[in-house]
Structure 1
Amino acid sequence: MVARLALAALFGSVVGLERERLLWAAGLRTHMLVCVGSCLIMLVSAFGFADVLGTKNVVLDPSRIAAQVVSGIGFLGAGTILLRGEVVKGLTTAASLWGVAAIGLAVGAGLYVPALATTALVVGILAGVKPFEERWRDRMRTHTLRLTVRRGTLSIDTLNGVTGARASRVRQFTVRPAEDPACEEVTVEFVRLSRTSVETIARQLRELPNVISVETVAG
């Protein structure tokens, strides 16, 4: 049993180190404590009632105690989310706490291979998938270009000529009068286009002779 508790602490520390690296509130110690605690609860569920199970007229379901971890860990997970104030953050950390609780239960039950595999998967998801997630979010984010041009010199056809194959990513093209009567303010909104591509388009637009200024605004 002590070996199982130590193994749960080890698995929890592996996940906790990844969260600690990003300086989240629930870091190394929190994940270790959750994993060890859930392991102990599973041990209590599995072996803590052995002396009364054989008693006449006593019927117990030890799994009910371990099952409370699944719902009880939500309290700690909610704390990592609400701690961020008005901005909803910490969802991934809350999910990792829920995951290490499950790992602890598995270790307490003696399911070492599934616990090890889950630890590897959780760390892989937290550390390995994040770059792809951020890249995808960057591509899905809306980007806006605000231009000041000489009146009547920038049309949608001119913009399509500059953007080329990216012309289909233009969601909105708006032209309005500027404070200078000789100029216009043009707003171009792109969707599902990376920041790098938008900056490339902005650089190409700045090279046009009638474009006075180009400002990039991330959505």
Structure 2
Amino acid sequence: MLSNLDMVGRLLAAALLGSVIGFERERLVWAAGMRTHMLVCVGSCLLMIVSAFGFSDILGRPNVTLDPSRVAAQVVSGIGFLGAGTILLRGEVVKGLTTAASLWAVAAIGLAAGGGLYVPAIATTVIVLAILAGMKPIEERYRARRQRHDLRVVARHGLLTTERLRILAGPCAGKLRQIVIRQGTSDDRDEITLCLVHVDRGALDALTERLRRHEGVESVEAIERTSIGRDAGGE
């Protein structure tokens, strides 16, 4: 049986490790921030302590066995409800997957701390923090290179042909993946969609401005897509 001091030490260790990961989420102003991660980690730690040491008074009695892994298994599956609460659907993009995953990882860290596995708990905290903070710039650079932008143009019918649009695109001509020209609801207007990939914001803004200034163009709307061929799971 653990001493009270040992139990408190494990709970404090869980709170500290959970706060380290929670701080990274708090920095990005996500709903599940420092307090949520600390609570999950401390709660998981306490459940593990109860599971492993809370029934010591009945051990040794006839026909009584103890399986500490049962509570841990329930924590792993039960944390899903809290993770689901952090996942939001904003338009066509799912947000909160990373935060939900961090809560699930923090629950495991709490279980490890509750079981006295300090080295794995600390190592996992460092690894999770490195994934959340260190991998984000790499991920953003990768997504930026695969970013897709659509320009929706309404212009006088027959004014902007495919060849004319490529000339207007200028430096962005090589970034044009698709050009779709449809006759609008009115016979004297065309609705044009330009799909561009691997284009930086400055070049896109310049192209948008050139199109808007072109004679016969009524409107230009820029629509930013997430990644080519898929929607991205946000933080």
- Write the deviation string for residues 138-195 of structure 1: whole angstroms up to 9, x where unpaired: 55454222446676553323333435575363223315479796xx545232143345
Whether the 8 Å contact between 1:144 and 1:189 is mirrored in structure 2 is: yes
Identity across matched positions, percent:
56
Deviates more, 1:190-199 or 1:116-125: 190-199
- Write the deviation string for residues 97-126 of structure 1: whole angstroms up to 9, x where unpaired: 111101111112222222122212222332
Quote the residue 1:78 is aligned against. 84
Residues 101, 137 of structure 1: alpha-carbon distance in 2 compared, 3 angstrom cutoff: same
The Cα shift of 1:217 comes to 1.5
Quote the residue 2:222 is aligned against. 217
CA–CA distance in structure 2, aligned partners of residues 218 and 14 of structure 1: 37
Residues 83, 143 of structure 1: alpha-carbon distance in 2 compared, 3 angstrom cutoff: closer
Of 183, 190, 196 in structure 1, the residue corresponding to residue 195 of structure 2 is 190
Quote the residue 1:41 is aligned against. 47
Quote the residue 2:122 is aligned against. 116
TM-score by length of 1: 0.77
Q: CA RMSD in A?
A: 3.5
The Cα shift of 1:206 comes to 6.0
Quote the residue 2:205 is aligned against. 199
Paired residues in the alignment total: 216
Q: Which amino acid aligns with 2:64?
A: V
Q: Which amino acid aligns with 2:220?
A: E
2:33 maps to 1:27: yes
The Cα shift of 1:73 comes to 1.1
2:23 maps to 1:13: no
**Structure having the larger proportion of residues in helix:** 1
The Cα shift of 1:55 comes to 2.9
Whether the 8 Å contact between 1:147 and 1:211 is mirrored in structure 2 is: no
Q: Which runs of 5+ in 2 are unaligned?
A: 1-6, 225-235
Q: SS in structure 2 opposite 1:93?
A: helix
- Write the deviation string for residues 190-212 of structure 1: whole angstroms up to 9, x where unpaired: 143345142243355567x7575
Report runs of 4+ in structure 1 exceeding 6 Å deviation: 82-87, 177-180
CA–CA distance in structure 1, aligned partners of residues 172 and 93 of structure 2: 36
Quote the residue 1:90 is aligned against. 96
Quote the residue 1:172 is aligned against. 179
CA–CA distance in structure 1, aligned partners of residues 166 and 129 of structure 2: 44
Deviates more, 1:120-129 or 1:38-47: 120-129
Residues 85, 29 of structure 1: alpha-carbon distance in 2 compared, 3 angstrom cutoff: farther
